[in-house]
């Protein structure tokens, strides 16, 4: 699993509600890039009235993909570009090896259904 302390030091406000990240180490860079993209959008949205600061509630692996739960955005609805960014990174996680971070993944199949965590050919062994 990913050590949260580095994230808490670099992004203290975003990780203030988390004690741990339930995601494999191969997605560490993916989560870091997501944080950096969210910060860019927050710089714009934070100037708007009724904006609530972004904070992760949970980051985990579920059904072989990254799942991110968070608070923040404009009151009554999340800031759309931020929610779109989170969803894009969740989708990207299905194409990144959860062990080493390689983008040369092989989907694990059982019949016609893709299942399990994405892994590259070296990490599957």
d(CA 58, CA 37): 18
Q: Residue 3: its pLDDT value, please?
A: 93
Across 1-5, 71-75, 120-124, least confident range = 71-75
Q: Residue 99: its pLDDT value, please?
A: 93
Mean pLDDT for the chain overall: 86
The pTM of the full predicted model, rounded to 2 decimals, is: 0.86
What sign results for the dihedral spanned by CA atoms 88, 83, 31, 93? negative
Q: How confident is the model at residue 74 (pLDDT cuts 50, 70, 90)?
A: low
Looking at residues 95-106, what average pLDDT do you find? Answer: 91
Residue, of 51 and 25, whose pLDDT is higher: 25
Three-state secondary structure call for residue 36? helix
Percent of the chain residues past pLDDT 90, beyond the cut: 56
Looking at residues 6-22, what average pLDDT do you find? Answer: 96
């Amino acid at each position: 699993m990913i050590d949260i302390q580095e994230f808490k030091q670099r992004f203290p406000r975003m990780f203030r509600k988390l004690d741990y990240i339930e995601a494999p180490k191969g997605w560490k860079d993916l989560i870091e890039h997501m944080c950096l993209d969210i910060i860019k959008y927050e710089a714009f949205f934070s100037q708007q009235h009724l904006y609530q600061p972004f904070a992760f509630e949970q980051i985990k692996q579920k059904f072989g993909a990254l799942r991110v739960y968070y608070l923040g955005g404009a009151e009554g609805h999340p800031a759309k570009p931020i929610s779109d960014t989170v969803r894009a990174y969740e989708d990207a996680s299905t194409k990144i090896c959860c062990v080493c971070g390689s983008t040369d993944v092989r989907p694990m199949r059982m019949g016609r259904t893709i299942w399990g965590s994405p892994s590259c050919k070296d990490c599957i062994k």
